[in-house]
Each structure stands twice: as structure tokens, then as C-alpha cells.
Copies of this chain bind each other. A is one copy, B any other.
């Protein structure tokens, strides 16, 4: 389910408030624009998700620590199911967040994006379920590969290569 126009607007305003709060200590910096705040938010979410993916990869390829995998799978699932996607709202195709956005400037194919976002949400939720419930590391590894492929599919379509 893609968010409504209203929820996109609410999310944008909330994100801007969060960014202003987060930057309260940096009054000397230029005030962020709404797009800046949204781009920072999605870059932040990807940074945290990336760290947890790397930790799961280390675990499934090496010595498996179930507690670490459960924590990281829960973090990924809750972040990608936590309405991250409004942060790709119109107006954020180009801009400076923490760094220049790598979002492809030609913008968003909403239907394809919704499909890929849905895959990532479903794959991540299933990974969190398996990590907690299964003693079978191979099945966790297989599901983690699906999550990584979901990430890659979206990068292929929507992230600049250069």
C-alpha cells in the first residue's frame, strides 16, 4: 500500500520538525529545506539498514550469533515497514542531504517503486520472523539473500551508478 497524499504531507512536515529538532544545536548552519530534511532521513535510514545488513552477512557467512541476527533483522524490518518510502516524495529527486542524493534525477516510476518497496517490506518481515523462530541458519541465509536482492533491484532502477 502506497501512502496517501495526506500521509505524505504529514510525513514531510514531521520529518522537517525532526530535522529541525536534531539540528537545534547547529544554529549557525543554514536552515534546512524540506527536501534536505527528507533526503537526510532516507540517507540515515539506509545507513542504519546497511549496517544491520552487513552484520547479518557477517553472521550467516561466519560464526552465527542468533541474538545479533534477530536484533538486526528486527531493526531492518521495522525501519523498512516504518513508512520510509514517503521520503522519496516528489521534490527530493535532486538535492543535498548528508551528501548529494544518488536518486536518479529522472524521478520515480511510482508503480515499479511501489512493487519493489512491497517486496522489501515482505522479504524483511519474513527474515525477522525466520531469524526469531528458526534454528535453521541455511533458511535465514536464503531469506537474507532475498532481502539483499530486493535492495539491489531498487538500486538498479533508482540509484545513480556514478
Cβ of A121 to closest chain B Cβ, rounded Å: 11
> In the assembled complex, which residues on chain B have CB atoms less than 8 Å from the CB atom of A79?
48, 75, 78-79
> In the assembled complex, which residues on chain B have CB atoms less than 8 Å from the CB atom of A35?
none
**Cβ < 8 Å to B, chain A residues 42-61:** 43-48, 50-55, 58
Chain A binding surface, main DSSP class = helix
B161 pairs with A54, CB closer than 8 A? no
In the bound assembly, the distance between CA atoms of A79 and B32 in angstroms comes to 25
Q: A135 near B: Cβ within 8 Å?
A: no
Count of this chain's copies in the oligomeric assembly: 2
A83 pairs with B68, CB closer than 8 A? yes
Number of residues from A at the complex interface, CB < 8 A? 45
Given B15, B19, B68, B161, which contacts A25 in the complex, CB threshold below 8 Å? B161
Q: State the A residues within 8 Å of B (CB).
A: 10-11, 14-15, 17-19, 21-22, 25-26, 29, 40-41, 43-48, 50-55, 58, 68, 71-72, 74-75, 77-79, 81-83, 98-99, 102, 159-162
| Interface pairs A-B: 6 shortest CB-CB | A44-B44, A44-B47, A75-B82, A98-B98, A18-B54, A18-B51
Chosen A-B contacts, 12 in total, with CB atoms closer than 8 Å, are A14-B55, A17-B54, A22-B46, A25-B102, A25-B159, A26-B99, A41-B51, A44-B44, A45-B48, A74-B81, A74-B82, A78-B78
